[in-house]
Amino acid sequence: MATRRPRHPGAIPRARGAHRDDSVAAVRASIAGYDAAADVANVFRALADPTRVRILHALSIAELCNGDLASVLGMSESAVSHQMRELRLMKIVSAEKRGRMVYFRLTDAHVRRIFADTLRHVREGRAPRPHGGQEA
């Protein structure tokens, strides 16, 4: 049933729940011209991993190189590098090569805000908490 149309209780064409059908039509129209879903999802996906969140937290404090990140997060340089690749692809972090080091930083204030807003969402008790958190 690709296009099942739910009949609301009243079922009268535009009675009590009439505005509903208008809403559905409006949404249907807007959905048609909305092709950014995959791109938006990809950005969220790049943020949807505890390791990458920790990386972003670290980079929100200071610009760091791959080895620093590996050290600070207690994981292999390879693992970090793989993750940085994703974050770079999504333009969430930017890389600058100096000598044989590569320094990473958050791309812009935009990214900081998305990150901060989500942290606030969590802190406001909107998402399940293992135990009360601290922040930087």
Partner DNA sequence: TTGACACTTGAACATATAATCAACTATCGT
Partner DNA sequence: ACGATAGTTGATTATATGTTCAAGTGTCAA
Restricting to residues 76-115, which ones interact with DNA according to CB under 7 A? Answer: 76-86, 95, 99-103
- Select from DNA, a copy of itself, none the partner in contact with residue 78, using the beta carbon and a kind-dependent cut-off of 5 to 8 Å: DNA
Q: Using CB under 7 A, count the residues that bind DNA.
A: 32
Which residue is it, tokens 């039509």?
25
* CB of residue 12 to a copy of itself, shortest distance in Å: 14
Q: Please, is 87 exposed, middle or buried when counting C-beta atoms within 10 Å of its C-beta (0-12, 13-18, 19+)?
A: buried
From CA 71, how far away is CA 135, in angstroms rounded? Answer: 20
**Interaction between residue 120 and DNA (CB under 7 A):** no
What residue 18 binds from a copy of itself, DNA, none (CB within 5 to 8 A, per partner kind)?
none
The angle formed by the CA atoms of residues 42, 73 and 87, to the nearest 5 degrees, is: 20
Question: Shortest distance, CB of residue 18 to a copy of itself, whole angstroms?
Answer: 13
Q: Which residues sit opposite 103 in a β-bridge?
A: 65, 96
Contacts 24+ apart (CB under 8 A), 25-34: none
Smaller CB distance to DNA: residue 109 or 134?
134
Residues that bind DNA (CB under 7 A): 6-10, 45, 48-49, 51-52, 65-68, 75-86, 95, 99-103
